[in-house]
Homo-oligomer: A and B are copies of this chain.
Amino acid sequence: MPEAGLIVQISGLLPALSPAEQRVARLVVADPADAARRTITDLATAAETSEATVIRFCRSVGLEGYPQLRIRLAAEAARRVEPVDARVVGGDIPPGADFAQIIATIAFNDARAVEETAQQLDPEVCEAVVEALNAASRIEIYGAGASGFVASDFQQKLHRIGRTAYYWPDVHSALTSAALLGRGDVAIGISHTGTTGDVLDVLEVARSRGATTVALTNFPRSPIADVADHVLTTAARETTYRSGATASRLAQLTVVDCLFVGVAARNRAKARKALEVTAEAVRSRRVTRRRG
């Protein structure tokens, strides 16, 4: 399990690192294979810092020392070659890209985000969250902007299998509702950056009421972690141009889905029944053949 996604892990930790360490991190992420070839002095020079900082960086990402970093980087770099045409991959969309390229690039990034998220997702934390969700008499989910879609999606899913779940698009309603939570209830905050003030506020209120708080973010060391009992992380390295952060959204949805399945699995019969009933409810709105 400590094998998974070092590069991804580094990108996630990046904002939490000190400036000098960030310079090192960026070099490493930009070209892992190259970094693996360099000696510590060499890398330090390239990052315009001292060897000491490079070692600190290694420790920051949970490694013993520099040789370990080199080896892990070499391994990762080797793994990540192949499937797709590397020219397009792992970066911004080049200006002259034709549509086939665009599709390949986006799909690659998206699929990667999903896979890497799964790799680094901690099953034990998931289990704890599912446990809490199962025990909760009320579940509240918060998310602003793009993360709001995910929050809403989760709410809908839980509702469909008969759990009491709310999503409040608006901060004031959210705060009011959070204030009414109690011990045993669960509040989930979704924020890609982990710095969305509104979401933090709501989680804080929920926590003060004794509710179990859960954060879903790309950056495990961001402020949202401080107000959460459980932190679940996604692993999306967004490219600059890709506005809406679709990759991160997909990663979030994947995590939400895992939680959902976990909850549903606790009571398969009941959940299955509920799903069938709700599916039946919309069936009348389906058309089976073309109309005149």
Residues of A within 8 A of B (CB): 36-37, 39, 67, 70-72, 74-79, 81, 93, 95, 97-100, 102-104, 106-108, 110-111, 114-115, 117-119, 121, 123-124, 126-127, 130, 144-146, 149, 152-153, 156-157, 160-161, 193, 195-198, 200, 204, 223, 226, 241-244, 246, 249-250, 253-254, 256-258, 260-262, 264-265, 268, 272, 275, 282, 285-291
Contacts and interface: CB of A to CB of B under 8 A. Distances in A.
Given A253-B246, A264-B241, A198 B285 contact: yes
28 contacts: A37-B71, A71-B74, A72-B74, A74-B78, A79-B81, A99-B124, A103-B118, A103-B126, A106-B261, A107-B117, A107-B119, A107-B254, A108-B118, A110-B114, A110-B250, A110-B253, A110-B254, A111-B114, A144-B285, A146-B153, A146-B156, A149-B152, A193-B286, A195-B286, A200-B291, A250-B250, A250-B253, A250-B254
Contact of A260 (B70, B121, B243): B243
A141 B38 CA distance: 48
A153 B147 CA distance: 10
A107 B126 CA distance: 14
A276 to B, nearest CB: 10
Number of copies: 2
A282 B265 CA distance: 38
A130 B291 CA distance: 28
